[in-house]
Amino acid sequence: MNKKLAKAIRILSAPPIPAAGLFLFFRIRGDLSPAEFLTGILLIGFLPFSVYLLVRERDRQRRLAFILSAAGYCLAFLLSQILKFGRIAKIIITTYFFSALFLILLNKFVKRKASGHACGVTGPMLMMVQYGGPAFLIPCVVFFYLAVRSSLDLGRHTAKELVLGSLSCLLAMMLAYLLLSPLWIAGSTGIMA
């Protein structure tokens, strides 16, 4: 893949972009209320993306985007609980919340670099295939492949870092589904209900 194309794909697959696409997908389907949609777009999409508009230095962009992502995900998670968001909104937001926790744990404490980029592409693609059906499979697989390939071709991540990032998202999604399972929360008054 040529360098110009790889850079363009990296920009289009930056985590806030697939996140915004995911929230738009569910809003169009009628699964999200206006408040749920705006919370996702603003706190999970726009807040982290705003760094790229305001800061030019790449290292500062990455650090600030990571910090604002974690802050936005935490705030979205709190709002989803306080405002009693619906199940789909809670699953999406809880997945982002746990993804951020796992990435922080791996990158800062375990000292194993996990790709936030891969994590941010994996979740939306999986959810779109799950809820959109077979028609979404090929476009999502192609998008995921291009995002991963561009990261490798530009030397931004190793295959191991990309796998760790994707696995972080997968684990976060599984945990969100487990915590929000109707069997688990039936009759519950807990925080995830």
Contact 156, 10 (CB under 8 A): yes
pLDDT confidence of residue 189: 47
Tell me how many helices (H) and strands (E) the chain has. 10, 0
**Span 61-90, average pLDDT:** 93
pTM for the whole structure: 0.90
**Angle between helix 137-153 and helix 3-12 axes, rounded to 10 deg:** 120
**Span 50-58, average pLDDT:** 86
**Span 77-104, average pLDDT:** 96
Burial class (CB in 10 A: 0-12, 13-18, 19+), 52: middle
pLDDT for 135-152, tens place per residue? 999 999 999 999 999 999
pLDDT for 22-49, tens place per residue? 999 999 999 999 999 999 999 999 999 8
